[in-house]
Amino acid sequence: MKKLNIVKKTLSFVTCSALSLGMITAYTIYSNNGGTKASAKTIAELQEERKANEAKIADLQSQIDSLEGNKNEEKQYQATLNDQIEIIKNNIALLNKELDSINSDIETTENNIDTLDASIVNQQEAIDKKVEVFKERLCAMYVTGNDNLATVVVGTSSFYDMLSRVEMVNRIASYDEELINEILSEIDAMEQSKKDLESEKLTLEMRLDEQKKRKEEKDAEMEIYYEKTRLCQAEIDRLSLEQQTLESDKADLAAMNAEFDAQIQAEIQRQAEEAQRAYEARVAAEQEAARQAQAAAAQQAAQNGESYTPTYSEPAYIPAPSASGFAWPAPGFCYISSGYGYRWGTTHRGIDIGDAGIHGGAACAAKDGTVISVCNSCTHDYAKNSSCGCGGGYGNYVVISHDGTYSTLYGHLASAAVSVGQYVSQGQVIGYIGSTGWSTGAHLHFEVRVNGVAQDPMGYVSP
């Protein structure tokens, strides 16, 4: 029995030594992970710049949309101006028709005046002839001396002859009177016609001047609208140029963000590979320590002449999945600091795994699946008594969908090592345990959801 106790003590010492060696190795790796944390901060800084750029892009888009609205307003105003110009053009066309009509009327009146002038000349000639006839008659009467009725009567040879002469004189006098009245009437008529035509011509010329003034006013009004249209087009061109400048700035920011995304993804991949190597080194160290402990125990038993049956199984790289097919999400860390259920006046929808030294440890996929959500922007990786507001309280987190029914969430990560749409295998490192979000200390918050409803994870996983 004493020898057996010695063997057990030796085995315990060797095992502790091996575990110490593993812890030293792990500490060295985690110390190196200090650089990873620095890188994580660098990722966070890149993400902050990316977030700032996104805000700038949103602001630029808002300005572009505003300019587009202004452009549309200018175009609508320009369309209104063009409508007004068309109306004025139609008015000017009508005025031109009226001017043509008035000019035609003036031309007709002038032709009528010319015709009347010719008629007056002809009438004047006829009047002149009649006047000449009248003059000849007066001259003949003067020559014959028959300048009065007494002379005519005295020279008669009989009463009948006297009557005849009186009748003739009366007829001549009546004819002369009619001739004179006809001459005067014709002259008055022609003068009146000429006055009427000249009055009509004056009226037409006044209308013509009035229409010309109206046309000049419309021409001036249309020029004003043309100038407004030109200014409107200049403003549209200016807004378009400003939009192009903003679009160029937005494209530059988008290109910068794409570069940030590439850098972030490259850093995430580097951290994932580094964490995987660290995890494998730690497991290898633990395996080597276990083998050395078994070898030492076997040797001690042999020296004591006792038989030895190994009781320590080598640790696997990945914890064996439970009957449900889910594996423990924090290999090497088993302490559950807070379980599923009622806590602080609400329901704690998962379990908190919080062993000492867990900060920087690997968080692994509990089952094969596709990453459907990632938050990797929280830089508040330290213990706190209230939420920093990041990730809805989860801080940096990863959500994985398993066959559409089940999903798992891994919260309070120092940083995530996967991206949305990525397919992950069971046990694959998907992030590094930290204290982001509403976290009082470093731990992994783990949830199992069935059709989106949180269930007690202990029904699916075990340490």
Range with the poorest average pLDDT among 40-49, 289-298, 441-450:
40-49
Tokens for 406, please give them: 């089940």
Query: Quick one: average pLDDT of 215-237?
Result: 84
pLDDT at 432: 95
Residue 381 near residue 361, CB atoms below 8 Å: no
Are both 382 and 307 inside the same structural domain?
no
Residue 162 lies in a domain: no
Per residue in 64-86, pLDDT (tens digit) is 888 888 888 888 888 888 887 88
Are both 118 and 248 inside the same structural domain?
yes
- Is the torsion defined by CA of 324, 330, 334, 337 positive or negative? negative
> Who contacts 2 (Cβ-Cβ below 8 Å, separation ≥6)?
none
Quote the CA–CA distance of 240 and 233 in Å, as a whole number: 10
Per residue in 140-157, pLDDT (tens digit) is 665 655 445 555 445 555
Residue 363 near residue 431, CB atoms below 8 Å: yes
Residue 139 lies in a domain: no
Residue 243 lies in a domain: yes
Per residue in 118-147, pLDDT (tens digit) is 777 777 777 677 767 766 766 666 565 544
Identity at 112, one-letter amino acid code: N
Residue 56 lies in a domain: yes
| Residue range of the domain that includes 95 | 1-124+206-317
Are both 356 and 283 inside the same structural domain?
no
Share of the chain above pLDDT 90, in %: 19
Quote the CA–CA distance of 327 and 399 in Å, as a whole number: 15
Quote the CA–CA distance of 295 and 287 in Å, as a whole number: 12
Give the CB-side neighbour count of residue 259, counting CA atoms within 13 A.
8
Q: Name the range with the highest mean pLDDT among 157-161, 172-176, 413-417.
A: 413-417
Residue 451 near residue 405, CB atoms below 8 Å: yes
Q: Looking at 287, 317, 347, which one is the last position of a domain? A: 317
Per residue in 362-383, pLDDT (tens digit) is 999 999 999 999 999 999 999 8
Residue 392 lies in a domain: yes
- Is the torsion defined by CA of 437, 438, 440, 443 positive or negative? negative
CA distances from 84 to 72, 188, 232, 271 (A): 18, 54, 14, 69
Tell me how many domains the chain contains.
2
Are both 304 and 399 inside the same structural domain?
no
Are both 1 and 80 inside the same structural domain?
yes
CATH for 397: 2.70.70.10
Quote the CA–CA distance of 332 and 17 in Å, as a whole number: 17
CA distances from 269 to 264, 337, 422, 438 (A): 8, 30, 12, 26
Question: At residue 9, does pLDDT exceed 50?
Answer: no
Are both 19 and 108 inside the same structural domain?
yes
Residue 194 lies in a domain: no
